[in-house]
Amino acid sequence: MVELLTAFGLGAAEMGISARLTRAISREKIIEAGMLTIAQILLWFYVVSQYAIDVKQHLPEVAAYTVGAVLGVMGAVRMGRKK
């Protein structure tokens, strides 16, 4: 169960970082974009090293990561809307 929650959280975090990175790039915030890129690459490396080596063995974690990624994108878009 912990592995599924971890994968879910990683998916949500990666998509949140991705959305913020896109916003930082579009607003030409160089330092913020660089720091977010570092965070995204480290997170990506961790995910690949943990789950992508043997995908068949980690299908529940991959599914949890995917759901987390979808909700992370949806949340980032919702939070980014102008009021």
- Residue among 5, 21, 3 at smallest CA distance from 73: 21
How do residues 40-67 score in pLDDT, each as one tens digit?
999 989 888 887 777 778 888 888 988 9
Given a cut of 70, whether residue 83 has pLDDT beyond it is no
Please give the pLDDT value at position 35.
95
Mean pLDDT (the chain) is 87
Please give the pLDDT value at position 82.
63
How do residues 2-35 score in pLDDT, each as one tens digit?
888 988 999 899 988 998 999 899 999 999 999 9
Show me where the domains of the chain are located: 2-80
Q: For residues 55 and 9, give the distance between their C-alpha atoms in angstroms, rounded to a whole number.
A: 18
